[in-house]
Structure 1
Amino acid sequence: MCTGACSKFIAIPLYVLALVSVICNIILFFPDFSTDYASSDSKSNPMLTEEVKYMGGFIGGGIMILIPAIHIHLTSTKGCCANRCGMFLSIGFAAVGVVGAIYSLAVAAVGLQNGPACRYRADNGNEIWGRPFINSSGEYLGNKSTWDTCLIPENVVEFNLGLFSTLLVAAALEAVLCGFQMINGLFGCICGTCSDKDKD
């Protein structure tokens, strides 16, 4: 496959994955699809998990992927970037994408391991707001019977699990695609972009 065509094949999925990551991160701010928790969140009364506020999906899997995707896509068109110089620059942009994807992946993994913030019944019988699974090392993920520990928001464990898992998969795919573009960019830099108008 021509390196320019390969760039297009890589860029289009990156657009989709970046959009998915941004949407998932935004939705994570609204457990139970309510704005109450985000509006009431504060340092003294944290209603949302720290991993949501790190915005791994928005910054890492979104913006840091979208910008490289745009340049990678431009290397597949008959424009200023469809040449050896453009392919060389795409290596650097793809490397930025890899860093963003790793950030998003790491935040999602920690979010899954530590579990959601919710109201639950403590050992003394009082209902408190906190993170009941934070010291479980992720063991709660395989024990669905413990998910009822969270009383409010309703089904928050499934909510967090679904969205952070989606972010995890999206970030892994983004890292792979950006890694492929680094290799593709190297070949494009050495061999050109298969364009008749290829210029150094």
Structure 2
Amino acid sequence: MCVGKCAKCLGITLIPLALLCIIANTLLFFPNGKTGYNTPEKLADSVWCFSGILGSGVLMVFPILVFMGMENNDCCGCCGNESCGKRFANLSSMIFAGIGVAGAAYCFIVSAVGLNHGPKCITDYNSTYIYPFKNGDYLGNHSIWDICVEPPKIVPWHVTLFSLLLVMSGTQLVLCAIQVVNGLLGFICGDCSCCSCCDSA
């Protein structure tokens, strides 16, 4: 597959992932779709890192745009060298893929920490918002989830959305890493397609 076509395919795949990450992170501010809990005192610190909105969302826009434009980049050369433009395009795609890797890694790490720490909640033995779960052991013991009484059903909400962010950011990480390799191959070997303006010259 041509380097440009591969990059465009990766860009198309990243679009829904970025949108879903933004949606998942936004939903974390509204436990069970309810308002009134979106304050730092009531929600876990990991929610306020905006990892899905910034890392896997906004930052991912830049590699998406670059990847999508790779196939249609005519890159007709520079300094009399036809392949120069295409090599520069592949180099720039590697740089922006690196930005995507950084954003996805940020979201992945924050999501893992969020799952490990668990949510903040009021328990049946404490009247203030605390972290009732010391580590990730609660993930395999659903019977203790009921100790959180406020916000209602916060544990499954927290676990589900952070799990989705973990999976989607992990996928983004892999896709951007693929483009780093893809761009490197394109930079070294050149793109397999020829630009029409150079052919007609």
| TM-score of the pair, normalised by structure 1 | 0.89
Superposition pairs of residues 157-172 of structure 1, within 5 angstroms: 157-172=155-170
Distance across 1 between alignment mates of 2:190 and 2:104: 27
Q: How many residues align?
A: 189
The amino acid of 1:92's aligned partner reads I
Please state whether the residue corresponding to 1:129 is helix, strand or coil.
strand
The amino acid of 1:120's aligned partner reads T
Give the match for residue 127 of structure 2.
Answer: 127
Is the contact between residue 121 and residue 128 of structure 1 (CA under 8 Å) also seen in structure 2? Answer: no
Give the match for residue 27 of structure 1.
Answer: 27
> Once superposed, what is the RMSD of the aligned Cα atoms?
1.7
Which among 58, 66, 72 is matched to residue 67 of structure 2?
A: 72
Task: Give the deviation of 1:185 after TM superposition.
Answer: 0.4
The amino acid of 2:10's aligned partner reads I
Give the match for residue 193 of structure 2.
Answer: 195
Distance across 2 between alignment mates of 1:164 and 1:127: 25
Give the match for residue 155 of structure 1.
Answer: 153
The amino acid of 1:196's aligned partner reads C
Is the contact between residue 74 and residue 195 of structure 2 (CA under 8 Å) also seen in structure 1? Answer: no
Give the match for residue 183 of structure 1.
Answer: 181
Superposition pairs of residues 107-118 of structure 1, within 5 angstroms: 107-118=110-121
Please state whether the residue corresponding to 1:128 is helix, strand or coil.
strand
Distance across 2 between alignment mates of 1:141 and 1:121: 19
| TM-score of the pair, normalised by structure 2 | 0.88
Distance across 2 between alignment mates of 1:9 and 1:155: 39
In terms of mean alpha carbon deviation, does 98-107 or 60-69 score higher?
60-69
Task: Give the deviation of 1:187 after TM superposition.
Answer: 1.2
Give the match for residue 58 of structure 1.
Answer: 53
Task: Give the deviation of 1:79 after TM superposition.
Answer: 4.6
Is the contact between residue 11 and residue 65 of structure 2 (CA under 8 Å) also seen in structure 1? Answer: yes
Distance across 2 between alignment mates of 1:80 and 1:23: 36
Is the contact between residue 109 and residue 168 of structure 1 (CA under 8 Å) also seen in structure 2? Answer: yes
Task: Give the deviation of 1:80 after TM superposition.
Answer: 5.4
Q: Which has the larger radius of gyration?
A: 2
Task: Give the deviation of 1:190 after TM superposition.
Answer: 2.1
Task: Give the deviation of 1:74 after TM superposition.
Answer: 0.8
Distance across 1 between alignment mates of 2:189 and 2:72: 17
Distance across 2 between alignment mates of 1:18 and 1:77: 23
The amino acid of 2:43's aligned partner reads L
